[in-house]
Amino acid sequence: MTDPKKVTIADVAKKAGVGIATVSRALNNQEGISAATKERILEIIKEMGFSPNTSAQSLKIRQTSQIALAVPDIRNAIIPDIAWAVEQAAKQHGYRVVQINTLGNARLELETLREIKKLHVDGLVIMPLAYPKQLESLINHANLPISVINYSKKLSPDLKADVVGLSRQEGRLVMEHLKGIGRTRIAYAGAPKDKIEERYFAYEQSLAQLDASLVYFGEDFSFETGRMAANYFYSLKHMPDAIYAVNDMIAIGIVNRFKELGVRVPEDVAIAGIDNNLWATVTTPQITSVSIMGSEVGRLAAELLLKRIQSASVTEYERVEFEPRIIVRESSVTANYYTSN
């Protein structure tokens, strides 16, 4: 027979097939647990003779009911969609979200992983941008569950984290579309090359020959970077007939500046971006964009993390991929496109 004095909350969680936080919720009558699960846990507690008073130290483990979300930059228009989805999933499980902005900086991404315990959270959803070399090692040695929102990067199959991302390279969809509508002098507008570099490589690899004069790297992913890119392309002796923008905010900035310069979009220059955020649909013309399924990716990343936090029986790490799709709008095609396709 089990000695009740030696029974810990971890023992109860293991027998119930749930996480310690779930047992704690049952004991404290908190939200975020089903009635059936609560009843089963209380029966096991009674059966094992567990008393919270004999395991006060164990009760301190994973009782924060908080998770952290680390994103590159909340000012990037797609990030609020992801953050909102993570928060809503967390609320449904009785959790709050602590948000961290890493600014896509390698040092801050590593710092987040090294110091996550100081935030008093039960797990982390991280959306890396810099992907420093030590990232995977720190994830593998973290003592908290982690979910990774991954766009484009190839991660080790041995990574000890649930990973949610895309099944296809989103930049290729942009280039396939622009080439498919007959554009031949295609330019690229992006942030520094080492940021989401796979999106740039998709551009480079889709061309028979690279014309370096058609590549513009700004300082960030902002509307202002788009305006500066437009100025640069307008200054060329031969302007491009299409521009692949690394994200929608840059695409919108280009469209905005071209209006001032008298450049017609899409008649003179077709433009397409990536993210499919709300602003892509309210600007004129509306922006052709690849949907990276931000809300869906964020929700599932949070769900997988919370499942791992709450259940001791979850052992295998998930690898889930969504299918990106291009949404064709006015910035890349004229009305004739819809009548002929």
Per-residue pLDDT tens over the stretch 263-295: 999 999 999 999 999 999 999 999 999 999 999
Fold classified for 4-59: 434 Repressor (Amino-terminal Domain) (1.10.260)
pLDDT bucket at 57, cuts 50 / 70 / 90: very low
Predicted TM-score (pTM) of the model is 0.78
Angle at 237 between CA 231 and CA 239, to 5 degrees: 60
Residues 299-323 pLDDT 10s = 999 999 999 998 777 778 999 999 9
**Mean of pLDDT over the chain:** 89
Please, is 74 exposed, middle or buried when counting C-beta atoms within 10 Å of its C-beta (0-12, 13-18, 19+)?
middle
pLDDT of res. 341: 57
* Residue 154: pLDDT over 90: no
Residue-wise pLDDT for 184-222, tens only, equals: 999 999 988 777 888 999 999 999 999 999 999 999 999
Query: Under CATH, what is the fold of the domain 66-167+293-323?
Result: Rossmann fold (3.40.50)
Q: What percent of the chain has pLDDT over 70?
A: 91
* Identical topology for domains 66-167+293-323 and 170-292+327-340: yes
Contact 76, 225 (CB under 8 A): no
Map out the domains of the chain as residue ranges. 4-59, 66-167+293-323, 170-292+327-340
- Specify the higher pLDDT residue, 144 or 7: 144
- What is the structure's pLDDT at 202? 94
Asked whether residue 170 carries a pLDDT value surpassing 70, the answer given is yes
Q: What CATH fold (topology level) applies to the domain 170-292+327-340?
A: Rossmann fold (3.40.50)
Q: Is the pLDDT of residue 122 over 60?
A: yes
pLDDT of residue 296: 96
pLDDT (0 to 100) of residue 124: 97
The mean pLDDT of 119-140, rounded to a whole number, is 93
Q: How far is the CA of 20 from the CAs of 55, 65, 166, 304, in angstroms? A: 12, 11, 32, 16
Residue 83 has pLDDT above 90, yes or no: yes
Note the pLDDT of residue 52: 65
Are the beta carbons of 78 and 248 closer than 8 angstroms?
yes
Give me the mean pLDDT over the 82-95 stretch: 94
